[in-house]
Amino acid sequence: MPSWNELLAELEGLSDPKKGPWLQSQLSTTLQKVSSLRDDRNVILYASAFLQKPNVPAQNLQLTHEEINGFMSVMFGMEWGKGLTLMLHTPGGVTNATETIVDYLWTKFDFIEAIVPTLAMSAWNHGLSCHQPDSHVQAEPTRSDRPPDAGGGASHLSASGRRSV
């Protein structure tokens, strides 16, 4: 995958009307690549601009109860048997909203893997640690194969769980 600087240079070379479709194409292509690298699992990217927009009130950037509608919408038509790779980059949010979403995800998927490329704070960490009692969740820091200046970050946390029914 290209570095952040390579993507930014390509984006800046486009006229304004072409930037939106290009960004959507890049996002779709990248999520498909992640899916193929993760055993063809369904992929959901849940991200917030909390690092880029520090002056925006936190309640406008964090996870709330309304997010369940977004999850249900993007999950429509997914093949539940493939499992889920959930990519997170958020400032956290309302803890019981996160628990509700995690519980909902477990009703659909028997395998859930969470990848945190940079940051996912409090609520998601709590919610993911509150896994189903009959599941096994393992979290371990892993080194990225890209140096920090390439936009890949120095490390990420990956957690996964399989629920037995």
Rounded to an integer, what distance in angstroms lies between the CA atom of residue 70 and that of residue 102?
A: 13
pLDDT at 148: 35
With 0-12 / 13-18 / 19 or more C-beta atoms within 10 angstroms meaning exposed / middle / buried, residue 112 is buried
Whether residue 123 is found in the same domain as residue 134: yes
Whether residue 47 is found in the same domain as residue 31: no
Helix H or strand E encompassing 19: helix 16-37
Domain that holds residue 16: 1-37
Total of domains in the chain: 2
Rounded to an integer, what distance in angstroms lies between the CA atom of residue 81 and that of residue 108?
A: 8
Whether residue 73 is found in the same domain as residue 8: no
Whether residue 9 is found in the same domain as residue 58: no
pLDDT at 128: 58
Per-residue pLDDT of the chain (165 residues; tens, 9 = 90+): 788 899 999 999 999 999 999 999 999 999 999 999 999 999 999 887 777 888 988 778 888 888 899 999 999 999 999 999 998 887 778 888 888 898 899 999 988 888 877 765 655 555 555 444 444 444 444 333 333 333 333 333 444 444 444
The reply to whether the predicted model has a pTM over 0.95 is no
Whether residue 97 is found in the same domain as residue 50: yes
SS3 content of the chain, % helix, strand, coil (to 5): 45, 25, 35
Residue 64 burial (CB count, 10 A)? 14
Whether residue 63 is found in the same domain as residue 120: yes
